[in-house]
Amino acid sequence: MIVIQTALPVEQQAVLEHLAGARVHRHRAGTLFDVGSLVGHPDTEIALGVTGPGTLGAAALTERAIAEFSPQAVMFVGVAGGLRSWLEIGDIVVGTKIHAYHGGRSEDHAFLVRPRSWDVSHELEQVARRLPRRDSWYSRLPDSGAGITPAVHFEAIAAGDVVLNSGTSAVAQRIRENFNDAVAVEMESSGFALAGHLSGSVPMVTIRSISDHADGTKEASDSRGSQRIAARNAAAFAVALAEAVQQVVRTEERDRPKSQPHASKGELGSISNIAQGNAQVGQQIGVSNGATSLTWGMGSK
C-alpha cells in the first residue's frame, strides 16, 4: 500500500485517472479514501486522500492515513507556484527539503524568522532521481503522444497557509530572504512533512508541478487550464514512482536469502504482519546493510 495525499479536487482526479477498481474506504472518523490499484500494475495498491488546502488538514489527515494503512510510502501530490523564471508551467519539482516559512517572532522593528525544515527521505529521493534517466514514466503523461515532456527538478519547496500571488509582497520577500533555496511555494507540505517526522518510519516525499509563477498572474494561468495540466503531470510522476518503489520491494524480497529472518519494520522489503488498532497489514520500506538499518522518512533539521 502506498498513500497519496492531495489538496484539491483537480489533483485528486488526476491521480484517480491512474487507478483501476477504485473503491471507497471509510475511516471510523468519517475520512474517505479511494483505494485502487495502478492501471496495468494490479500489485501496486494506492490509497488516495484529499486534505483540502492548508497545512493543518494536511498534517492531521496524513497522520490518520499512516495509522490507517501502515503504508510503504506516503506522497503529497499536486500543484505549486513557481519562484524561478526558468520553471515552465507543467514542470515537476520533487521536494528535497520542505520549509515551513511562517514560524517566527514579530518585533516592533522586524519579523525574526525561526525556520523549521524537513529533508526528503534519502532512499525515496534516490529512487525518484532515477526516473528521469529513462523515458518509461513519460507514457503516463496525459499528452505522452504529443512529445511534450516536463522537466523534473529536485529542489527545496516552501509551504505555508497563504496563497502567494505576488513577487513583491511581504510574504514573497520573507521567502526570498530567508528560504532562498526554495524554487516553488504551496500550502500543505510542511504539515505533511511534520506528520511524517512524527510517524518516525514512513518514507515521504512531496511531488509538485508548476501551475503558475506566484507573481500576480495566477488567475490568468488558471483560466488557461494550467492547474489541470500541472496536476496531471505531478500525478504521472507520482504513480511512476509508486511502481518503482514496488519494484524495489519485489527485488529485495526475491533476493533475500530464505534462511535470513525477515527484517524489522521499516527495512526494505520487509512485511509487517501485525496491524494495531484500526490499521491494516502493510509493508514498510528501508535499507538493511549488515548491521546498519536505514529507515525511509523525513527527518527534522
DSSP 300: B
pLDDT digits (tens, 9 = 90+) for 271-293: 333 344 444 434 333 333 333 33
pLDDT band at 297 (very low <50, low <70, confident <90, very high): very low
d(CA 30, CA 8) in angstroms, rounded, equals 18
Task: Give the cell for residue 125.
Answer: 529521493
pLDDT for the residue numbered 299: 45
pLDDT tens for residues 184-225? 999 999 999 999 999 888 999 999 999 999 999 999 999 999
Cα gap 35→49, rounded to integer Å: 9
Cell of 281: 497489514
Strand partners, 204: 74
Q: What pLDDT, in 10s, does the model give residues 71-86? A: 999 999 999 999 999 9
The end-to-end CA distance of the chain, in Å, is: 28
Average pLDDT, the chain: 86
Query: Mean pLDDT lowest for which of 65-69, 240-244, 271-275?
Result: 271-275
What is the C-alpha to C-alpha distance for residues 162 and 150, in angstroms, rounded to an integer? 26
Among 97-101, 171-175, 197-201, 296-300, the range scoring the smallest mean pLDDT is 296-300
Strands 152-159, 182-186: pairing is parallel
Taking the model in full, what pTM does it have? 0.84
How much is the pLDDT for 282? Answer: 40
Please give the pLDDT value at position 289.
36
Least confident of 47-56, 110-119, 224-233, 261-270: 261-270
